Amino acid sequence: MPAGAPLDADTILSATEDVIRRYGPAKATVVDVARALGVSHTAVYKHFPSKAALRDAVTRRWLGRDREALAVIAGDTALRPPQRLRAWLAAMLAAKRAKALDDPELFAAYGMLAAEHGGAAASHVADLLGQVQAILADGVADGSFTGTDPAAAARVVFDATTRFHHPGHASEWRVPGIEAELGAVCTVLLDGLLAR
**What CA–CA distances, in Å, run from 96 to 1, 45, 78, 105, 172?**
30, 31, 25, 14, 12
Q: Is the domain defined by 63-193 classed in CATH 1.10.357?
A: yes
The Cα 135–Cα 76 span in angstroms is: 9
- Give Dmax (Cα) for the chain: 65
* pLDDT in the model for residue 1: 58
For the chain, the domains span 9-49, 63-193
Model pLDDT, residue 148: 84
pTM score:
0.85
Of the pLDDT bands very low, low, confident and very high (cuts 50, 70, 90), residue 116 is confident
Task: Give me the half-sphere count of Cα atoms (radius 13 Å) on the Cβ side of residue 93.
Answer: 25
DSSP the chain: --TTPPP-HHHHHHHHHHHHHHH-TTT--HHHHHHHHTS-HHHHHTTSSSHHHHHHHHHHHHHGGGHHHHHHHHT-TTS-HHHHHHHHHHHHHHHHHHHHHH-HHHHHHHHHHHHH-HHHHHHHHHHHHHHHHHHHHHHHHHTSB-S--HHHHHHHHHHHTGGGT-GGGGGGGGSTTHHHHHHHHHHHHHHHHB--
pLDDT at 3: 58
Under 8 Å between Cβ of 195 and 91: no
Under CATH, which architecture does the 9-49 domain have?
Answer: Orthogonal Bundle (1.10)
More confident residue, 190 or 147: 190
Total residue length of the chain: 196
| pLDDT above 80: residue 106 | no
Let me know if the fold of 9-49 is the same as that of 63-193. no
Q: Is 34 exposed, middle or buried (0-12, 13-18, 19+ CB in 10 A)?
A: buried
Q: Is it the case that residue 117 has pLDDT exceeding 80?
A: no
One-letter amino acid for residue 44 of the chain: V
- Tell me: the pLDDT tens digits for 36-88? 999 999 999 999 999 889 988 888 888 888 899 999 999 999 999 999 999 99
